[in-house]
Amino acid sequence: MTAAASTSPHIPVLIRPLIAAVSPVSGVWLDGTFGNGGYTRALLAAGADKVIGVDRDPLAFEMAAAWIGDFGDRIETVAGVFSKLDEYASDLDGVVLDLGVSSMQLDIAARGFSFMRDGPLDMRMSQSGVSAADLCNEASEAELADIIYLFGEERASRRIAKAIVAARPLTTTLQLAKVVEGCLPRAKPGQSHPATRTFQALRIAVNNEYEELAQGLMAAERALKPGGQLAVVTFHSVEDRMVKRFLQARSGNTANANRYAPETAQITPAWRIEKRKAIGPDDQELAENPRARSSKLRVAIRTDAPAEDIDPGALGMPMKKRKGGR
């Protein structure tokens, strides 16, 4: 895979409101989802002294080779996962996480993320480990139904899983997309493609994305200095719910707690949340970048309270163990 394989420009989602929300920008930041470097460059332009770019996809740094030298030692790159970001840096002024699949991955057919382009059924961000084809061809029908339902929120998950098993072996993205399309009504104008939720579910399972997010939020709490800022861009309801619940729990905000649940001990807030409502794209961004339509930004400021772990189950993360990993 080469950098030349992608010709589509990458437009960082919610970059204008993100920079506005965390300004003034200074010090050392960590971009936990480096991708095409859009957030990293925006942070440097806004005043960051240095950005540590983390990505598990080897292609990210291959593509950056053409421009990264222009920034000298203001950019440091780390091949790794953001769930371990506190192992790469500490005493940070800020952490940015842009979740989900990046344009560079989606636009390259050979990566197998897109149901609109024919390619191998892969979906591995790290380009190693269990692939989407492995899941489709080896997981049981029940396992597949669980993955598609819990990770894709697809109500027709059992029907789709049964059809996948019947169609084995599946090796390409368009083969899978055709199987899913055969299980669902044809999409009306303006509706998402019938295979959207199934592809999302398999990608999340292959890359262990929900566990990565839960661990990454806790790692950010450990790595940020008092006054440091966390900015997270999500693209669907489960991700946003996890981020929201994490910040609520660790900021001591129990306003939405279940009154019938056992009383929990009051904590010293580890985060300060100045805007409780998530920030979404404006009309200008939607016109420039339709992929931003489901995106949400949440920002929080670290206090000086000690960092603590939190049970991922309390974040609304689907907990059933999956076949597949990082």
Known binding site: residues? 37-39, 55, 82, 98, 105
Contact 302, 225 (CB under 8 A): yes
* Backbone angles phi and psi of 153, in degrees to 5: 50, 40
Q: Which amino acid appears at position 195 of this protein?
A: A
Contact 230, 94 (CB under 8 A): yes
With vertex at residue 49, the alpha carbon angle to CA 48 and CA 51, rounded to the nearest 5 degrees, is 70
Neighbours of 72 (CB within 10 A): 8
**Binding-site residue positions for S-adenosyl-L-methionine:** 37-39, 55, 82, 98, 105
CB neighbour list of residue 211: distance below 8 Å, 6 or more residues apart: 83, 312, 317
CB neighbour list of residue 72: distance below 8 Å, 6 or more residues apart: none
- Which tokens belong to 17? 């409101």
Q: How many angstroms separate the CA atoms of 126 and 57, rounded?
A: 5
Residue 185 buriedness (CB in 10 A; 0-12 / 13-18 / 19+): exposed
Sequential DSSP letters for 262-278: PP------SEE-S--SP
Q: How many angstroms separate the CA atoms of 39 and 20, rounded?
A: 13
- Residue 94's DSSP bridge partners are 29, 229
